[in-house]
Structure 1
Amino acid sequence: MVAIEKSASSKKKCKSSDHLRNSLFQDIRIGKTLSKSKNSQPASADAEGVSPPSRSEIIAGLNEDLAREYKSIIQYAVFSSTLKGPEYGDIAEQLKKHASQELAHALEVARQIDYLGGDPTVKSKDAEFSDDSKKMLEIDLRAEQETIKNYRERIIQAERGGEFALSEKLRGIIAQEQDHEIDLKDALGLR
């Protein structure tokens, strides 16, 4: 860290601040450059003695997330069309919006997998179905809760692996997933 004397001129303070900022950016660039290799795993461990995940481990987790997004797209598309009863009219429209948002999530996750040097999966997790409208919403709620839990884990994994931009993208996805969870809880009378 750069120390700035109180008696120094403002010009010197400005130069010191610039030096600190440039030093930090250089460290970030160096750290990013060192982790560019497809399967790189930094040798040093974190404070708990755990090595950061490799890119291949992050990619594997993201592919699991992508498969869950495919499942959600399928379920939302089907459930929005098959919910029965006047009490489900509003949520059916919301599920259509959820389906398009899940597609946007899938596209972003696939893009991140490709950026990291992986191949996005084309396989979906097994979609669930029910003839009962309430059970359909319960299925979707459980899926959203599982997705949120897994994205939280992926954010930690991405940050430990030095993939900070990825963790920020995933935070944006989680925000929408939590909105979906709220919509489903409201429709089920759980809030």
Structure 2
Amino acid sequence: MIRIAIVLGSTRPGRLGKPVADWVQSRASERGDAAFEVLDVADFDLPLLDEPLPPSLGRYSLAHTKAWSEAVDGFDGYIFVTGEYNHSIPGALKNAVDYLYKEWNNKAAGFVSYGSSGGIRAVEHFRGVAAELQMADVRAQVALPLATEFVHYRAFVPTEAAEQNLQILFDQVVAWAGALKTLRPDHAHRKDDASAA
């Protein structure tokens, strides 16, 4: 089955991203076409990137990097839940993404964002980062403006439009995640093994 991680990118106390990620997970659990799991960047306590070698080499030396790599690697696609900080994504999320390379390659990426403008500027920035990491970002996006999706700018109550947009995002991420599996070496090896049996 296709496996999709819902990556919660904010580590800030009182973060608005937690109820958003919980909503995404709740709606995802109603589907039968993929398995969804929340990956909370805050759970990994990643310091500022401290590996001595570039992530593209895949030669990790530190326990926290290895744990993060193992957590990320098993998924076929990602839905990133991100706030908008100064027209970009939270520093903790960028740091977490920068730790790895091959783990992201040839996988689907979708975005659920929130902020004063729905987080759309953060996602536009993030799309360039995703492309460099060989993630295929889907067109659909769920943008959640603080003024319309959060009561008094704090309590998350998604509108019907947000609910509909989330389903479109799910459809695209799951479809692309399935298609991209054929490009990854692990899938090719399994196929060769099966044909040789």
TM-score tier by shorter-chain length is under 0.3
TM-score (normalizing by structure 2)? 0.27
> Higher helix fraction: Structure 1 or Structure 2?
1
